[in-house]
Structure 1
């Protein structure tokens, strides 16, 4: 085999060795930066599941080591890019697999491909169905392999499918798993940054929690730096004396920004922190974490999920229990349009603003 390998062209040898070493493609960083710049300028309102597809459309054509798939939800997960071709009995060159309704089988197969080498496997299903893939997802983390889980329909924001499909505890379950990056991006820019990290990781699997509903672009100022890699960052700072810090993820980042507008209009200086990846923020040094979450101001977190996992950022890290609050879910969801549900469950800009004022 080694003799045969030496007979192929040098560029093919290097590409083979790169994929087996899980080294990033030289085009990846520039491609992600270009997409981020385009999005910051155009500021589209799109679901982050669609944002994910936009990333895959520009990355998959040159990162030919990716093998995608979905557990019978391709049209909903947006996991297939136009260049991939379907892997089946007639096309062994295809890079997209229709797994059927087999979440655990899909996750286990992806682990096997990554363990074999030369492949970066990703697969999609609904966030609520991480329950079915759970055993293999845990093994990705345990075996230290960078399998990527594209989990869409990540909250009550999916609407009428109701509580059987609406995840409330699943972010906490994934975050509780050691050696796992859980990304919940707020817009296309953060989604692109999350994918860049997932596609360069060598020993840590990634869970991308993505929305069904359209979300506004919140990163309107282009930054070449991958801010998601820091786990959390200041999206918009307080005007005047800083009295409150609102921390949010995913679809609730725009809610936090609207709450800030309410509070600032009343003279309450409010910082908004986007926290797309708690695990990466925990890896930052104390100095950076203190800069983002200084002691003093009241802290309110907003996320359309249960509070478990948030206490470190609310009452730890220089926070205080009597100056901390949470706006989110403490029950299962319901079947109704997304905007009705957010109102019903009290995950609104006004509710966040009221929570802040109750703590001052």
Structure 2
């Protein structure tokens, strides 16, 4: 069974997905309900009534409170039961409540904290401020469900050497001159590629950066933050021109486990505001890459691994380009081990 890092932030959804009508999403094996209050704030509750375990998301939101669709119990935004319509007894025990998760919304991302609420730390939220910059960027957003452990998807994103094989529209990013570097700064892992004098990708040639056959220099720079938030910047220039003169695309990839063997893969891409590429064409290019090219391969890998979720435990052949993905796995394992040690220490102290 997967041992998740608990005292951290996971993505629950895009801000524009959350309205005054409840939605349910399975996150870390737990059905979780989100809805937006009249003041605009987001609520995250366990999607299970404590009485008969009915999904609260199938109920009604009334005055910022949720009513169970089965027996009518009403819970406020803190999870406390505040009304029982089938009895005149107004005394409702404090224990009659639904688990509430701390939640914060930043730059159109709704983050939730599944661990100890007393340890909730907003400083740990990964920062993607450009997502909130609608003046200089126009954004596309997506969610791709993948039937694989979320670290298998992390491996895919941290090792972009598969691009030329799986993604024809983005092919051309690599040649014999390609240089790869990976490393760690604190808990952040980077995985970078730099290629000179290569052909432009079809995505850029027929989109925001046409070079009309002239070769390009390209940088692919991926950064990972635990447990599964990644930022990719792609920079391309005509060969020999300075990097600062290049065209840049910014992309966010965030993975939240659905279960031990499935993942919620949230993704976003951005065009510069002056780019003439239709946003729908841009979105379809991303969706095609993640839904119809990456996803089948990742799910095939997961199926071959069977019940095993730790790739390294199967002693795979490791290439130099695996440096970033291996580092990300090791950092996450360290953090989980430290958290479990702290939890054990706290339990002993409480005895």
In which range does the TM-score fall when normalised by the shorter chain?
Answer: under 0.3
The structure that has the greater radius of gyration is: 2
Counting strand residues as a fraction of each chain, which structure ranks higher? 2
Name the TM-score, length of structure 2 as normaliser.
Answer: 0.28
Name the TM-score, length of structure 1 as normaliser.
Answer: 0.27
